Amino acid sequence: MGKILERYPVHRLTTLHIGGPARFFAEAKSAEELQSLIQQAARSGISHCIIGRGSNLLVSDDGYSGMLLRLEPKRWGGIEQVDDRLVVDASVTLGCFCAFCAREGIGGFEFLCGIPGSMGGAVLMNAGAHGKNVGDSVESVRFLHKSGAIISDVHPQFSYRHCHLDGLDVLLSVVLRVEEFSTPLDEIYRRQRELRQWRSDHQPGGPSAGSIFRNPSGHSAGKLIDDAGLKGCTIGGAQISPVHGNFIVNRGNATCKDVLALIELARETVRQKFSIELQLEVHYLGPNGFEII
């Protein structure tokens, strides 16, 4: 079993580079090891939480008081083509997945290019861009149930930036339908380059957690924040990006408290000016686990 580390600095595991220590942290190399770690946490009377690549995650400055778990990336990085399906481990990064598709002449997934994070996170968030969502291609998933059993061949229910799976504890792998075979490599690379360039032109670089808010029905969260005059607003080391209003960037020394203050400022200003309630897209991990804020 992998080593269980104490007081692990969670900021090392997030793209925002923010977060206090987890009481315990471990990476599981197999489903059996993952089950064992969860059982060990339960016997010790502490909670557990699972994270992926930390690209859509805001962690409290106080850290997390339980056992934080992650699938060991090197052991959960498999991609296998089976007929007209792709079987993808949850820990595979979207960058590696897009590179695999380009090499194999598999088109249709270019919209995932440039999105940080893992396939597991993309499925659970029903990640999407340019009119496409990953949930549209999901045939089935394999996951660890809260009962401790491993469940296979389940089709989740998807909605905007959400995936519903009864009893989900940890997503292990996903089966994707492929619609474009034998696409010329130069065509795939061209599409990927265009989408990466679009992201570079329209989204900020540097440490961030991606989109902070969901887009309200019929509206763009970024435009609402821009129209509210908040782009570039700074609290402590955190800033609402001057490039895109729906991104909060860490300028080097931001705390979770700084980010939460900007979130509340954006919510309150948009509520007052436009009577629209902004809902978080980013996940917040507090001392006692994931919370809705």
Which SS3 state, helix, strand or coil, does residue 264 take? helix
Tokens read off for 173: 């792998």
Nearest 5°: CA angle at 227, between 223 and 233? 95
φ, ψ of residue 116 in degrees (nearest 5):
-75, 165
Residue 281 appears among annotated catalytic residues: yes
Active-site residue, selected from the candidate residues 27, 33, 110, 281: 281
Alpha carbon distance 138, 175 (integer Å)? 6
User: Is-catalytic flag, 190?
Assistant: no
- Which candidate in 161, 173, 191, 208 is catalytic? 161
225 exposure class (CB count in 10 Å sphere: 0-12, 13-18, 19+): buried
Length of the chain counted residue by residue = 293
* Residues 6+ away with beta carbon under 8 Å from 130: 111, 195
Residue 115 neighbours by CB under 8 Å, 6+ apart: 94, 122, 127, 129, 210
Q: Which residues contact 204 (CB under 8 A, 6 or more apart)?
A: 241, 242, 243, 244, 247, 249
Q: What are phi and psi of 91, to 5 degrees?
A: -85, -5
Q: Are residues 221 and 267 in contact, defined by beta-carbon separation less than 8 angstroms?
A: no
Residue from 91, 173, 211, 241 carrying the catalytic annotation: 211
Residue 56 has a CB neighbour count (10 Å cut-off) of 27
CA distance 47 to 57: 18
The reply to whether 65 belongs to the active site is no
Residue whose entry in the numeric block shows the structure tokens 């792709």: 86
Catalytically annotated residues: 161, 211, 281
